A and B are shown apart, each in its own frame.
Chain A
C-alpha cells in the first residue's frame, strides 16, 4: 500500500543537540511539506518542496533545515538554534491540485 511514513514516532532531544526527523513517501507525489503543531493549536508551515532539489521556507523556518535529494524523502533537521522545539511534527505529500496525505507524526520533546 502507498503511504507516507514518519519516524521515529517519539524523539527526545537534549539542549544544544541537532536531531533529524524522517519522512518517506511511496506515492510518487511531487510536493512535500513539514508542519509544526503545538498543543491545542493549528498547523504552522515550516518548509515545503514542490520538486526534487528545491525547497522554500514556510512561515516558521528559523531553527530548521531540510533537504530534498530524492523525490521520496524530505527529512527535517531541528537545529540547536530552534529555542522551543517541543511539538508534534507532521509531514505531508501532495499530488498536484489534490489535497495532502499526512504521515502519523513525530512527537519531539526536549529533555
Chain B
C-alpha cells in the first residue's frame, strides 16, 4: 500500500540551528512527494514538492530531495527562525490511487529564541 512515516516530535531547536525532519515512504507506483506546513489554528499550506527522482523542492529556505533509492524525502533548513514553529506534514500522491494525498502523522517543530 501507500504510506508515509515521519520522525516523531516534538523537535525543539534554538534559533539559527540546522533542521532535519525525516520522511520515508512506501508507494505502489511512482509517487509525487510534498511537504505541507500548518501554523497554529490554520489550514495546511504547501511548502514544497517534487515529482520525480532526484528533484529538489525548495521554498523559504527549506529544501527536500526526492531520493528513490532510499524512498526518502527529508526536509532541511540551514537556519531556523522562531517563526518556523509549526507542524510539518510529509505526503505523497500516486496516480493509481486517484492522486489522493497520503499524509504522515506530522512533526511538531518548536524553535526557541
Write the residues of chain A forming the contact surface with B, with a CB cutoff of 8 angstroms: 6, 31, 33, 40-43, 45, 48, 50, 90, 92, 94, 96-97, 99-105, 107
Contacts and interface: CB of A to CB of B under 8 A. Distances in A.
Contact of B43 (A48, A99, A103): A103
A102 B44 contact: yes
A102 B43 contact: yes
A97 B99 contact: yes
Contacts of A105: 41-43
B105 A41 contact: yes
Interface of B: 32, 34, 36, 41-46, 49, 89, 91, 93, 95, 98-101, 103-106, 108
A48 to B, nearest CB: 7
A33 B100 contact: yes
Contact of B45 (A41, A45, A48, A102): A102
Nearest to A97: B99
Nearest to A35: B103
A100 B95 contact: no
Contacts, number: 52
B107 to A, nearest CB: 10
B99 A43 contact: no
Contacts of B93: 97, 99
A100 B35 CA distance: 11
Contacts of A90: 43-44
A42 B104 contact: yes
19 contacts: A42-B103, A43-B44, A50-B98, A90-B43, A92-B43, A96-B99, A97-B95, A97-B99, A99-B32, A99-B36, A99-B46, A99-B91, A99-B93, A100-B44, A100-B46, A101-B46, A103-B43, A105-B42, A107-B41
A45 B100 contact: yes
A56 to B, nearest CB: 9
